[in-house]
Amino acid sequence: MNAPHTWRQQAQRYLLEGVQCTACDHRMFPPRAVCTECGAASMRPHRFCGGGEVYSYSFVYHPPAGHEEFAPYPVALVRLDEGPLVAAQLTDVATDDVAIGLRVEMVTRRVREDSADGVIVYGYKFRPAIPPARR
């Protein structure tokens, strides 16, 4: 990934920023221009809270180029508390603890190997949610 590509997605990668439809309030991640529910084309930014639960998961044993150093690693579809699904890696979790329904929260991590032009690619991953009392 080159520098401008990484740079222009900062709000999505670091803040989990999507959009909310101004007509019907439907919330979407990633951002898009046209609402998937009502078809309106009027959006405002919406930052997701980062909480959710595992909807489906897998373990990648044969990674694509750029991810070899992390393999094997868990990936999941996470159902965010506000509704959308997001595809991401899981982190800080024991293999046996990964399950559908696991409560998770978004954290910022290196998501792939550093690019040839020196950019360290940070982004969102999800880890098991830490209960408030233990924070």
Instruction: Tell me the window of 19-27, 40-48, 58-66, 127-135 that interacts with other proteins (CB under 8 A).
Output: 58-66
Contact 64, 115 (CB under 8 A): no
Q: How far is the CB of 28 from other proteins (least distance, A)?
A: 8
Report the residue from 1, 11, 15, 129 that binds other proteins according to the rule CB under 8 A.
1
Measured CA to CA in angstroms, residue 70 lies from 6, 23, 27, 91, 131 at distances of 20, 42, 32, 11, 27
The angle at the Cα of 15, spanning 62 to 132, to the nearest 5 degrees, equals 95
Query: CA-to-CA distance for 114 and 117, rounded, in angstroms?
Result: 8
* Chain mean position to CA 47: 12
Does residue 89 interact with other proteins by CB under 8 A?
yes
Q: What are 55's strand-pairing partners?
A: none
Size of the site for other proteins (CB under 8 A): 34
Query: Alpha helices, DSSP H only, in 69-127?
Result: none
Between 2 and 22, name the residue whose CB sits nearer to other proteins: 2
Does residue 68 interact with other proteins by CB under 8 A?
yes
Report the residue from 2, 10, 36, 42 that binds other proteins according to the rule CB under 8 A.
36
Q: How far is the CB of 78 from other proteins (least distance, A)?
A: 9
Using CB under 8 A, list all residues that contact other proteins: 1, 9, 30, 36, 55-68, 70, 73, 75-77, 84-89, 100, 111-112, 121, 123
